[in-house]
Amino acid sequence: ENREAMLNSRSNRLTEALEEANALFDGVCRAREAALDAQFLVLASNIGKEKANELHSDMSAFDSTAFAEDLLTFMGINRTEETDDSEDGPGGFLPTDAWKRMGEEALKYFKRAPDVHYMLGSFKSEPPVPKQRIERQKKASRGKAEQAMPAQLKKMEESHQEATEKEVERILRILQTHFENDPNTPISYFDFVIDPNSFARTVENMFHVSFLIRDGLARIKLDEVELPVIEPTKPNGGAEEENRAGARNQVIIRLDQREWQ
Amino acid sequence: QVSELVQFLLVKDQKKIPIKRADMLKNVIREYRDAYSKILNRTGKTLQEVFGMQLVEIDSKRHMYILINNLPRAGGKYLCRDKEKEKMGLLLVILSFIFMKGSSVKDSALWEFLHLLRVYPGRQHEVFGDVRKLVTEEFARQKYLEITPIPLTDPPELKFQWGPRAEKEISKKDVLNAVAKIQGKDPTFWASQYSEAEATT
């Protein structure tokens, strides 16, 4: 208590307290009282140190209120004449770039090492999963967990080709799973391959789908409005399907970035 | 090893948190421990000659290092994200306040001063968000500020001083000049701060 009063450089309270303690100590005859006295001494010396500190800084008086006002001016405050009850506080409106302005000045003085970031981003060990549609995304991850591989999948030596095979297989699964739920509705081809966020992904999807078609695992036909739709072929298709696959059609699909948008 | 360490330090420095020697040994140097000081020396040279940065030890007991920019200051605009600019602005204001007040202030005094600039510890600031966290945690962890509790205070009070990174990245003279510029006065107006600033150049 009375800390602030004692700190006041103009008061002698600290000295008085010390003298009082001194006098009291003569009457001390119990250990506990001596301990209390010691505690008091520690407190007193701390206060003494603080007082000494304040002495030092008072030498060249620094008016922090004036400094604050000047800072606000520097940051571009718009001082208003009338008293406004807005949240911006009394005396003015601080623009949104106020602290940016301050920062630009500050940067001139700091020897701050600039941040270093790799231009190409950090290493990712697995190719990121393409986002086709959110529902399909969930089905895709479910599909991946299944270990059952279709008989048509051939094992490749190079990992590069493996990745493509994986993708193709994944896309087949998505197509099949969609079909499980909706057996008689082929999906619009464009809906299936187009990734609204990435042109590159779209091209990749088309590439993978072309594998499925080539291998006869899926087929594309034109619907009533002449738009292409895609559906998986039934696994126990039999001779009829094989004949179909025999009639190879070459389709060139041209899609450039503008069209994609 | 040297180039690996250089890359390691550059990436680690992004958050501006001092880098520990232990981390360097564990992640980069590993089995070459004996050559540690040689590797560190060459790394320092590379950083200086290629990137213009200086590797500085700020704590010789706990072996912590920071990177600072050693290039002469260019006059032009600085390429820097706005968020970073704003934080540096606030930091300069705080460091100036501390220096002009005799190199050490109590937390209550600092927050009272920041009030005048519409910055409140208890309120979300539209630019800085949680200001208290920024000042007492981020700036302290980056070693721009040194925050120590004042003993035997109840409720506990804190003391704010310049941290070792601030000492290395900015000079008292520059701070005094900044204050003088903002207040439109000559730096010699504040005699004792001026002599302190001259002394530590």
Query: Looking at residue B143, which CATH number applies to its domain?
Result: 1.10.10.1210
Side chain identity at residue A103, one-letter code: G
- Grouping H, G, I as helix, E, B as strand and the rest as coil, residue B65 is strand
What distances in angstroms separate CA A248 from CA A169, A243, B46, one per listed residue?
21, 10, 62
Nearest-angstrom CA–CA distance, B131 and B119: 8
List own/partner pairs for A93-96 with CB under 8 A and 24 or more apart.
Answer: A94/B118, A96/B126, A96/B127
Residue B135: pLDDT over 90: yes
Which of residues B69, B96, B122 is at a domain's end? B69
Q: At the fourth CATH level, which superfamily is domain A154-232?
A: Structural maintenance of chromosome 1. Chain E (1.10.10.580)
Test B169 with A106 for CB contact under 8 angstroms.
no
CA separation for the pair B194, B180 (Å, rounded)? 11
How many Å is the maximal CA-CA distance in chain B? 58
- pLDDT in the model for residue B32: 73
Measured between beta carbons, the chain A residues lying within 8 angstroms of B101 are 57, 62, 64
Q: How many CB atoms lie within 10 A of CB A255?
A: 14
Single pTM value for the model: 0.58
pLDDT at B89: 92
Q: What whole-number distance in Å separates Cα of residue B98 and Cα of residue B157?
A: 16
Domain assignment present for B198: no
Q: In the prediction, which pLDDT does B141 show? A: 92
Residues B59 and B93 both lie in one domain: no
Asked whether residue B177 is assigned to any structural domain, the reply reads no
- Contact call for A109 and B151, based on CB within 8 A: no
Q: How confident is the model at residue A81 (pLDDT cuts 50, 70, 90)?
A: low
Residues B107 and B159 in one domain: yes
Q: Which residue type is seen at B24?
A: M
**Averaged confidence pLDDT in chain A:** 66
How far is residue A146's CA from residue B43's CA, in Å, rounded to a whole number? 50
What is the gyration radius of the CA atoms in chain B, in angstroms? 19
Residue numbers of the domain that contains B7: 1-69
DSSP three-state, residue B155:
coil
B101 in any annotated domain? yes
Q: How far is B129 from chain A (nearest CA, A)?
A: 13
Output the pLDDT for position A43.
76
Residue that wins the pLDDT comparison between B84 and A29? B84
- The model's pLDDT over B115-125, given as tens digits with 9 standing for 90+, comes to 999 999 888 88
Question: Residue A4 above 60 pLDDT?
Answer: no
Find the residue in B nearest to A61 (Cα): B190
Instruction: Give per-residue pLDDT as tens, B60-110.
Output: 888 899 988 888 776 555 667 788 889 999 999 999 999 999 889 999 999
Amino acid letter, residue A18? L
